[in-house]
């Protein structure tokens, strides 16, 4: 039997500031693998964490930190290796909210910008010193980039973006284009900072999730009620949850009846009546009366903690679109160098050609191959696409999301607050005794002062109709989860569920059939009782947004599959789906939504649109997550895109904008490469001079930039009709 492998080294954990994508994590991992005594490396760029084992007899921790700094990142201490998720969130706050200009990348962008401004001022004041001023700015800016390129090359990542930028800068300086080199360095620094800011915003979702769970809980201990930290709750503890409190951890009600708002977990828009024996989730809100809850999960394993874990996993495993220029550089940069070297060496060595002529042509080739236009081609198009989207209220948090949108084959919508407005509205009023207006006014009088969404909808409808709402004597009395009763001038009036009405009076078959028909349409029905007689019915439902049907039709027209993934019950979900011509998958908890997204991704890229906390894992796991602007902070922070105008039609605009941007990117790449190809051929025949080589590179850059700016005039067909 084989012996268990010996575990060598102490477990260490640190935060690495500046990791924005998977390639950043890969650079660090490749470098650390080459250090003796470093093992079990686990990088998670989504949370900027690094966990590894270190044999301190072979490599000191300071050496590891120096290596990380040499790659352009900043190592920071973390609280420890084994922590509860609540402690992880607390640790994640440390330094995470640093202002961008205080970060390493922020200091670099300010420094290169200042040098560029100084060089420009010198060129105006002393034109003869213009070249030297820009040369100094370019060299100072290139030194740290070149150092990172060298460190990366020695650590197993030879052709990263730093190598490409170093070649571009040196190429520009070599031909006397110091001004261009200084500008390219500055633009590179700006891009790096913007990536860091976007990545930091995405990480804020985990912090927002943790805020859903109360910090303390009321627990019955030794015949008294004590307040303890929520993370100290143990399985079997009895917690007291008062009206308005959030449930501190998953558990089971052992005493009491109340309406529980489970929107943080299931997305259900209407609070659910719960009684003894029913399960409740951490983060849910107790809306009506006090409950005694037996805790079934600890803080580290409750529903919200598991959602956080799902978000972390989804962000960590998501494979964002790698920057095209990084991938291309792995082949283009060394190939260009080899070709230039061959042009310089081969003719003189093989054919005794004149060295000066072929050195000149080799330099011209290297200058033509200078990747400035390629460096700008993709980010220029992406920047224009992002700006065009922002003008239309489409907040896209990075180029990867913008590129992915154009390739999606499936769009999955959450229902509540996404396809629907997110609050119940009255759809039907059935007066059995009297007029509809009188029935609505009595119901509003009973519900006056209520905070329940159904009650608020009834009051709002009565006020919009300008009805005179009767005065209730002595206020209203609630039977949690069943009904609200008040004494009006005409007598006692109750507004309650059909189940409550059946306990009080005998419901006629005709009315019972009408209730069933309304509920089959996904509507919530309340019965109005006046002096223990049925006065009428009021049906309510969370209705689709005005542009939902038009958006669904437009998505189908461009060949995208559309469906609903919702935590709502099957009847309600299918009713909304049928009305919009969609398929629906209902009663999905967060982990089930995540599984559905994973299955859909097997067929191609998936876009998930949601607004609730329960949508956070699915938004993170989808190829691109889209949040409604009116949704929760968690959805907005976790998602890659936010629809600030809260229009479902914005999804159609996003896809069309992405397709236009992808087309523009490939146009730019083709334009840059074709121009270089033409000038490369003329160089080999001695037609191209150095100044023409400069023109080839600069001209390609100008053309690529001008083409990218066309995206600013983007106008979606979908928006034209909205």
Enzyme catalytic residues: 414
Report the chain's terminal Cα–Cα distance, integer Å.
Answer: 71
**Residues listed for the chain:** 722
How far is 565 from 17, CA to CA, in rounded Å? 36
DSSP 429: E
Beta bridge partners of 16: 75
DSSP for 114-148, written as a single string: HHHHHHHHHHHH-GGGHHHHHHHHHHHHHHHHHHH
- List the strands of the sheet with 410-413, edge to edge: 394-396, 641-643, 624-628, 606-610, 410-413, 561-565, 583-585
196 and 105 Cβ atoms separated by less than 8 Å: yes
**Axis-axis angle for helices 372-391, 690-709 (nearest 10):** 20
347 and 358 Cβ atoms separated by less than 8 Å: yes
Please choose, from the candidates 480, 466, 412, the residue with its C-alpha nearest in 3D space to the C-alpha of residue 437.
466
**CB neighbour class for 692 (10 Å; exposed up to 12, middle 13-18, buried from 19):** middle
Query: Hey, how many other C-beta atoms are within 10 angstroms of the C-beta on 66?
Result: 11
How far is 246 from 90, CA to CA, in rounded Å? 20
How far is 606 from 410, CA to CA, in rounded Å? 5
**Nearest-10 Cα torsion for 50, 55, 59, 64:** 10
How far is 555 from 627, CA to CA, in rounded Å? 17
112 and 196 Cβ atoms separated by less than 8 Å: no
Beta bridge partners of 42: 51
Residue 469 dihedral angles phi and psi, to the nearest 5°: -90, 120
Beta bridge partners of 533: 530
Residue 273, SS3 per DSSP:
strand
19 and 28 Cβ atoms separated by less than 8 Å: yes
Beta bridge partners of 286: 260
Three-state SS annotation for 152-191 = HHHCCCCCCHHHHHHHHHHHHHHCCCHHHHHHHHHHHHHH
How far is 516 from 519, CA to CA, in rounded Å? 5
427 and 541 Cβ atoms separated by less than 8 Å: yes
Segment holding 396, helix H or strand E: strand 394-396
708 and 383 Cβ atoms separated by less than 8 Å: yes
Please choose, from the candidates 29, 360, 48, the residue with its C-alpha nearest in 3D space to the C-alpha of residue 195.
48
Beta bridge partners of 624: 607
């Amino acid at each position: 039997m084989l012996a268990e492998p010996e575990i060598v080294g102490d477990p260490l954990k640190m935060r690495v500031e500046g990791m924005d994508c998977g390639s950043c994590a890969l650079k660090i991992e490749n470098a650390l693998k080459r250090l003796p005594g470093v093992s079990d490396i686990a990088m998670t760029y989504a949370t900027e964490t690094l966990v590894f084992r270190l044999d301190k007899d072979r490599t000191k921790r300071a050496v590891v930190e120096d290596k990380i700094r040499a790659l352009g990142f900043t190592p920071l201490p973390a609280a420890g290796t084994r922590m509860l998720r609540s402690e992880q969130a607390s640790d994640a706050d440390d330094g995470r909210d640093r202002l961008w200009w205080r970060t390493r990348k922020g200091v670099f962008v300010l420094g290169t910008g200042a040098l560029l401004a100084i060089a420009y001022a010198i060129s105006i004041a002393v034109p003869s010193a213009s070249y030297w001023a820009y040369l100094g700015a370019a060299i100072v800016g290139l030194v740290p980039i070149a150092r990172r390129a060298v460190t990366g090359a020695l650590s197993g990542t030879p052709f990263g973006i730093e190598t490409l930028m170093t070649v571009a800068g040196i190429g520009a300086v070599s031909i006397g284009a110091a001004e261009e080199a200084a500008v390219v360095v500055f633009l590179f620094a700006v891009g790096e900072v913007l990536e860091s800011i976007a990545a930091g915003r995405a990480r804020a979702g985990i912090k927002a999730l943790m805020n859903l769970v109360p910090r303390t809980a009321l627990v019955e201990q030794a015949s008294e009620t004590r307040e303890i930290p929520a993370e100290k709750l143990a399985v079997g503890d009895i917690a007291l949850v008062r009206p308005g409190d959030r449930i501190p951890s998953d558990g089971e009600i052992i005493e009491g009846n109340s309406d529980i708002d489970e929107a943080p977990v299931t997305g259900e828009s209407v609070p659910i009546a719960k009684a003894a024996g029913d399960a409740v989730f951490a983060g849910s809100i107790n809306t009506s009366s006090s409950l005694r809850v037996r805790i079934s999960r600890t803080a580290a394993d409750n529903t919200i903690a598991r959602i956080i874990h799902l978000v972390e996993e989804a962000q960590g495993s998501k494979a964002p679109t790698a920057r095209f220029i990084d991938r291309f550089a792995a082949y283009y940069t060394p190939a260009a160098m080899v070709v230039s070297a061959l042009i310089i060496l081969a003719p003189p060595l093989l054919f005794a050609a004149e060295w000066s002529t072929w050195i000149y042509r080799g330099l011209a080739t290297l200058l033509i191959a200078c990747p400035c236009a390629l460096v700008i081609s993709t980010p220029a198009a992406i920047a224009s696409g992002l700006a065009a989207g922002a003008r239309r209220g489409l907040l896209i948090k990075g180029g990867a999301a913008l590129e992915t949108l154009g390739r999606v084959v499936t769009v999955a919508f959450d229902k509540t607050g996404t396809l629907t407005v997110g609050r119940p509205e009255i759809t039907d009023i059935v007066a059995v005794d009297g007029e509809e207006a009188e029935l609505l006014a009595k119901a509003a009088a009973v519900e006056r002062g209520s905070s329940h969404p159904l009650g608020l909808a009834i009051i709002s409808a009565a006020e919009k109709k300008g009805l005179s709402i009767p005065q209730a004597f002595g206020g209203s009395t609630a039977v949690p989860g069943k009904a609200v009763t008040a004494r009006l001038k005409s007598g006692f009036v109750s507004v309650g569920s059909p189940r409550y009405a059946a306990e009080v009076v005998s419901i006629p078959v005709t009315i019972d059939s009408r209730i069933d028909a309304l509920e089959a349409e996904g509507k919530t029905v309340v019965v109005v009782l006046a002096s223990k007689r049925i006065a009428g019915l009021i049906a309510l439902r969370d209705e689709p947004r005005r542009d939902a049907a038009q958006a669904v039709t437009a998505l189908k027209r461009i060949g995208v599959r559309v469906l609903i993934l919702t935590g709502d019950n099957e009847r309600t979900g299918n009713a909304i789906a049928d009305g919009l011509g969609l398929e629906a998958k209902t009663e999905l908890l967060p982990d089930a939504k995540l599984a559905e997204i994973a299955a859909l991704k097997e067929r191609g890229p998936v876009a998930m649109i949601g607004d609730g906390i329960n949508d956070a894992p699915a938004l993170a796991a989808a190829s691109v997550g889209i949040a409604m602007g009116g949704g929760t902070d968690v959805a907005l922070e976790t998602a890659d895109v936010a629809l600030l105008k809260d229009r479902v039609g914005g999804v159609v605009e996003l896809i069309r904008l992405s397709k236009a941007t992808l087309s523009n990117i490939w146009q730019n790449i083709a334009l840059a490469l074709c121009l270089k190809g033409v000038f490369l051929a003329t160089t080999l025949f001695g037609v191209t001079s150095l100044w023409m080589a400069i023109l080839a590179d600069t001209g390609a850059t100008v053309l690529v930039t001008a083409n990218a700016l066309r995206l600013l005039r983007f106008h979606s067909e979908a928006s034209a009709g909205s």
